[in-house]
Chain A
Amino acid sequence: ETGVTQSPTHLIKTRGQQVTLRCSSQSGHNTVSWYQQALGQGPQFIFQYYREEENGRGNFPPRFSGLQFPNYSSELNVNALELDDSALYLCASSTHRAPSYNEQFFGPGTRLTVL
């Protein structure tokens, strides 16, 4: 088990609603990355935060937004939920930000179901 925690574990929402997912990074890590993993697929990069600033973004629409706090914990917000947003959302913390990559420490994920 890593020291990365995520909440909630599971979440059920309806189309059009908004959701906030939370992540506490491992002690000493200043970089948090968020990934979306659809069933049967590999994780897809959403964005990365380094010291409270966005440091790179994947191919996701603006309704996916994030924050990183001074203690390096992070939030992922998704507005106007769509059925295709149903997935496992993973956060990962590390000591290096892009473009220098090292080991990513993943949390257990939040399973989001959109009905």
Chain B
Amino acid sequence: SQQGEEDPQALSIQEGENATMNCSYKTSINNLQWYRQNSGRGLVHLILIRSNEREKHSGRLRVTLDTSKKSSSLLITASRAADTASYFCATDSGNTPLVFGKGTRLSVIA
């Protein structure tokens, strides 16, 4: 079963625009992570945010976490064609394994 659900399923933007993806989950979590996957290859870790954190930044990435709403968002600023990929959120809680959502497919058009 998949705990996290990303929204939207697909997103198409112009280069230079910002991209925002959302993740909702069902049960309390310890951590939430965001990963990127290019064309069915391996996933690349972007950011890990802990349940007691509200916001984290890494370069052009900004992640927020709202545990009261059981949701997180990933913002990519000034997007580039190279950001075209699928983005997944993954959550862990207690002794449960890392659970991934179905992902958001981002297309950045040059």
State the interface size on chain B (CB cutoff 8 A).
Answer: 27
Contacts known (A42-B101, A43-B100, A103-B45); A88 close to B95, Cβ less than 8 A: no
Indicate whether B94 reaches chain A with its CB closer than 8 angstroms.
yes
Contacts known (A99-B92, A101-B92); A43 close to B40, Cβ less than 8 A: no
Contacts known (A40-B102, A42-B2); A99 close to B45, Cβ less than 8 A: no
List A residues 26-81 near B (Cβ within 8 Å): 33, 35, 40-45, 48, 56, 58-59
Instruction: Decide if A109 touches B40 in the complex (CB within 8 Å).
Output: yes
Would you give 22 A-B contacts (Cβ < 8 Å), ordered by A?
A2-B44, A4-B42, A35-B100, A40-B102, A42-B90, A42-B102, A42-B103, A44-B100, A45-B98, A45-B99, A48-B97, A90-B42, A98-B92, A98-B95, A99-B92, A99-B95, A99-B96, A101-B30, A101-B33, A103-B45, A104-B45, A104-B98
Chain B residues with a Cβ under 8 A of chain A: 1-2, 4, 30-31, 33, 35, 40-45, 48, 88, 90, 92, 94-103
